[in-house]
Structure 1
């Protein structure tokens, strides 16, 4: 089955937008939290990190990107096991990323968000959207105990680029 674009792109104010993606898990928030935040577990689907999170910053190396160098990730907020907000990327255009977990009976709902300004959205959303679909589907596989490496980037990009281009164009209007 081919992946589909599940993201939603909401306008926050005149120039600010937010990409929102959801995923559902048949496990507790604590289980999802461990796969999100433990370096070894996170390395199964996104990347490993080194450093002391208590310092407010770690160095992350992505696992599905060839030749990726470690990059600084600032921990802006951490409320285990329900919320983590981080900042990564260059200071002039940092990415603020948030993963919020909500318990729903015996299941967990993940809401992932990335705010961005209009100019950045127009230029980057068609690439960012498919990337987060890819990584969040890898997270779902890792939480389920499956091999996230069975999820292939080529199934996501460029096939999911067009729906995210449409979302970006709506931001242009």
Structure 2
């Protein structure tokens, strides 16, 4: 399978950027929302979660990552079926992740955003970018009711490492 880097960096300040990826679906936002936010459906492409979302925190086990550890996910914003914004990762350097859904006639446009400091872009974008391409394509498969497990990580990494490294180097300028 041939994949390409679809994401781009959008500067927000001199030292801050957003990694942005778009995907389109031939279904209404509510369908995509369910696959994004329901634990069982989310488990088909990214990971299952447990806990009470109304508490503002759930714990997620990623399906395609090594280890069995649950990671804490803080829910920063949740407006069905339009926006979900979460924070996950280590307490000293958590990742903020946003997904926006917009209805466009019979289709839905998804915009994924991960804010990043310049030093993170320079050190991690060539690793993180291919990972989000992989997960976003797994989401496409899950929404289409296809088997996301047929999407192979080896098609994304290292193939997309260099295009994202080029983006990172451009951020140095």
Structure 2 length as normaliser, TM-score?
0.99
Q: Counterparts of 1:34-113 in structure 2 under 5 Å?
A: 34-113=34-113
Q: How many positions carry a matched residue from both structures?
A: 173
What is the CA-CA distance between 1:68 and the residue it aligns to?
3.8
TM, length-normalised to structure 1: 0.99
Structure 1 runs (4+) deviating above 2 angstroms are none
Local SS of the residue matching 1:81 = coil
Q: Is residue 2:145 matched to residue 1:145?
A: yes
1:9 aligns with 2:17: no
Displacement of 1:150 after TM fit? 0.1
Deviation at 1:132, TM superposition (A): 0.2
Q: Partners of 1:32 and 1:91 in 2: how far apart? A: 29
Secondary structure of 1:33's aligned partner: helix
Structure 2: segments with no counterpart, 5+ residues: none
Compute the displacement of 1:66 (Å).
2.7
1:87 counterpart SS class: strand
Structure 1 regions of 5+ residues with no counterpart? none
Cα displacement string for residues 8-43 of structure 1 (whole angstroms, at most 9, x for unaligned residues): 101110110100000000000000000000000000
